[in-house]
Amino acid sequence: MKQLNIGLIGTGFMGRTHANAYRQVNTFFPHAIEPVCKVVCGRSVTTTRDFGARWGWQETTTDWRSLIARPDIDVVDICTPNDSHAEIAIAALEAGKMVMCEKPLAMNGGEAQRMVDAAARSGRPTMVSFNYRRVPAVALAKQLVDEGRLGRIFHYRARYLQDWTINPNLPQGGNTLWRLDADTAGSGVTGDLLAHAIDLALWLAGPMREVTAMTETFIRERHLQDDPATLKPVRIDDACAFLARFANGALGTFESTRYACGRKNHNTFEINGEKASIAFDLEDAHQLQFYQHSDDSLVRGFRTIGVWDGDHPYMKNWWVPGCAIGYEHTFIHQVADFLDGLEAGEKRVPDFADGLATQLVCDAVLESARTRMWQQAT
Ligand code: SOE
């Protein structure tokens, strides 16, 4: 069995999801290539050692440059805050590594373009962690669209709602709340949540031509996590809504917020085509709603497909029908797909070029909100 040495950078929430995926992938999705949890890198010595021990990493470091310089590392997996993605990814590609990177790919389109250029120069495989493509019901939606079961697409409607920033006393910045700090995150819900929704939309309905957006920052000042006495203006978008026109003529509506009380990870989409509609809600992740106009009119209606039989995407590798899988499995599927690509010698998506496409839409959305004008999205 060929071993693939992984260097993981980042020990937070995403670091855990990726570490878990490397440990589990070959148990459920056997491959000839075996990922080896070689080195994990974090900012604090003790946290990184604890992480390494808990998740089974052979070595730990606090210096990502030394990790990248090691000849025995094959894949660099970037799970750091957004402002370091470009620097680490470009250095890793220049060192000849394959690169897995958390979303959003970068702080803006310029950075993302430099990452795509570095990937093209190196010729190494890349992947961006838009993990929701790997929910079995979402993969089934893609299959139905690709099989032409919806026909021409008229509408794409997405909402991604959470509520965890509703507390005005929540600080910004630091190790855990960097998503609220524009210097580290680049943007608020646009880069964090809508990036997922945009990636799915581009994958399912094709490129967008233009967008018009509005954003709002509801809590205008927050204390710093690392310096609680200091109150600093909040510069991220707390909420964003935008309209899109797709290249295929479809109309899109997108909404995202972290102030939707009661909504935890309400990532939804509905696609209306000339022959059928499909609808998905991550909070009911095993279900895909499907309505087909050609059904017998006596029994026609939205049907709920329970996407947990062995003939549905990814499910044959898990339990018996009806036994649910969840959020962490999307990251296992992501690594499985990456390994499939390596074994087949084929590219697997979403790669850095896909990450750039989403980044350009995010940039256009934020620019439209700033200028109050329609913006080109490609
Ligand atoms: C934000 O709350 C967040 O953790 C995102 O950063 C992730 O990408 C999303 O999958 C869950 O929510």
CATH number of 136-376: 3.30.360.10
- Ligand 1 atom nearest to CA at 196: 8
- Tell me the average pLDDT across 52-61: 98
**Residue 1: band (very low, low, confident or very high) from pLDDT cuts 50, 70, 90:** confident
What is the number of other CB atoms lying within 10 angstroms of the CB of residue 59? Answer: 13
Spatial CA neighbour of 162 closest among 81, 284, 262, 286: 262
Please tell me the distance between residue 193's alpha carbon and the centre of ligand 1 in angstroms: 6
Using the CB atoms, write b or e for 187-207: b if 16+ within 10 Å.
bbbbbbbbbbbbbbbbbbbbe
pLDDT of residue 341: 98
**For the whole model, what pTM was predicted?**
0.98
Domain 2-132 falls under CATH 3.30.420.40: no
- Ligand 1 atom nearest to CA at 13: 4
* Domains of the chain, residue spans: 2-132, 136-376
Q: Of all residues in the chain, what percent carry a pLDDT higher than 90?
A: 98
CB under 8 Å to 10, separation ≥6 — which residues?
Answer: 41, 42, 78, 79, 80, 102
- Tell me the average pLDDT across 38-50: 98
- Tell me the average pLDDT across 147-163: 98
* Residue pLDDT, tens place only, 103-143: 999 999 999 999 999 999 999 999 999 999 999 999 999 99
For residue 321, say if its preceding peptide bond is cis, omega within 30 degrees of 0.
no
**Residue 175: band (very low, low, confident or very high) from pLDDT cuts 50, 70, 90:** confident
* Residue 378 half-sphere exposure toward CB, CA atoms < 13 A: 10
Mean pLDDT of the chain: 97
Distance CA 177, CA 175 (A): 6
For residue 35, say if its preceding peptide bond is cis, omega within 30 degrees of 0.
no
Q: Of all residues in the chain, what percent carry a pLDDT higher than 70?
A: 100
pLDDT above 90: residue 378: no
Question: Is the Cβ atom of 330 under 6 angstroms away from ligand 1?
Answer: no
Q: Are 58 and 37 in contact (CB under 8 A)?
A: yes
3-state helix, strand, coil in the chain (%, to 5): 40, 25, 35
Distance CA 320, CA 51 (A): 32
pLDDT above 90: residue 329: yes
Using the CB atoms, write b or e for 144-161: b if 16+ within 10 Å.
bbeeeebeebbebbbbbb
- Ligand 1 atom nearest to CA at 132: 10
Question: Is the Cβ atom of 181 under 6 angstroms away from ligand 1?
Answer: no
* Residue pLDDT, tens place only, 238-272: 999 999 999 999 999 999 999 999 999 999 999 99
